[in-house]
Amino acid sequence: MSAELARRLSAMGILDRRVLWAVAQIPRELFVPEWLRPEAEADRPLPIGHGQTISQPYIAAFMTERLGLVGAERVLEIGTGSGYQAALLAVLAGQVYSVEIVPELSARAAEVLLGRLSLGNVRLRVGDGALGWPEEAPFDRILVTAAPRELPPLLLEQLRPGGRMVVPVGEEVEVQVLKLVEKAEDGALAVRDILPVRFVPMTSGTPRLQ
C-alpha cells in the first residue's frame, strides 16, 4: 500500500525521490488506531487520541521535503504524535530526537518505532516541545508538528548555523502558516512563508522528562 501512496504523492507534487522512497518503506497503518487502518493512507488528518492527529500524508511528505535531508543530519522533531513523521525522518537522516508532551502517545510511538520497526537511530523524550532538547543541541534540522503562536526562541537557539527549521506558526487554526527558517553561518535568520496549514496548537506544561 505504501508504494501506491508514494505514487499518489508524486502526482501531487512531491519531487524528492528519497522522500518518496521513505514513504514507500514506512507502513502508515501501523501509526493509526486499529479501527482507522482502512483509512490510513487517505490524504487527510486522522485522530490518534488525546486531542492529537496524524498529519495527512501530503503534509508530512511536504514538510520532510523542505528539510532537504541528505542522510547524515541530526534532526529534532517537536511533537512525536503517532510516530509516523519520526519514522520518515529516521530512514532519511542520521539521528532523530523526538519530543512529545503526552506520555501515552510517546509510549505508543515507541512501541512502533523502536519495537515493530526497530529504528535504532530514534530517541524519544516526554517533555515540553518548546524547550527542545538542549543537551543534544545543536541540530542540523528541526521539524515542528504542532503550531506555536510565534517562532519558538529556544528552538531557534538549538538550530545549528547552516541549518533549517520547518514550523507551522499561528495562534488560530484558520490562520496558520508553514514557515521555513534558514540559519546562516553567522547566526542570521531568513524566514519564508511557504504554505497555509492547519495543525493542533503547541501545548506547554511540566511533564516528567525521561
Does residue 84 surpass a pLDDT of 80? yes
Strand partners, 3: none
**Closest alpha carbon to 60 in 203, 199, 202, 204:** 199
Asked if residue 68 belongs to a domain, the reply is: yes
Asked if residue 126 belongs to a domain, the reply is: yes
Asked if residue 208 belongs to a domain, the reply is: no
For 152-201, the three-class secondary structure string (H helix, E strand, C coil) is: CHHHHHCEEEEEEEEEEECCCHHHEEEEEEEECCCCCEEEEEEEEECCCE
| DSSP for residue 147 | B
Structural contact between residues 14 and 20, judged by C-beta atoms closer than 8 angstroms: yes
CATH number of domain containing 50: 3.40.50.150
Asked if residue 142 belongs to a domain, the reply is: yes
Average pLDDT of span 170-178: 82
- One-letter amino acid for residue 5 of the chain: L
Average pLDDT of span 62-77: 97
Asked if residue 207 belongs to a domain, the reply is: no
Does residue 210 surpass a pLDDT of 60? no
Total structural domains in the chain?
A: 1
Asked if residue 51 belongs to a domain, the reply is: yes
Give pLDDT, residue 206. Answer: 38
Structural contact between residues 164 and 67, judged by C-beta atoms closer than 8 angstroms: yes
Give pLDDT, residue 103. Answer: 96
CA distance 175 to 172: 6
pLDDT digits (tens, 9 = 90+) for 93-136: 999 999 999 999 999 999 999 999 999 999 999 999 999 999 99
pLDDT digits (tens, 9 = 90+) for 11-35: 999 999 999 999 999 999 999 988 8
Positions marked active-site? 55
Asked if residue 178 belongs to a domain, the reply is: yes
The domain of 77 spans: 2-197
Asked if residue 116 belongs to a domain, the reply is: yes
Structural contact between residues 131 and 65, judged by C-beta atoms closer than 8 angstroms: no
CA distance 98 to 23: 19
Could you list the beta-strand ranges (E) of 13-146: 46-49, 52-54, 74-78, 95-100, 122-126, 139-144
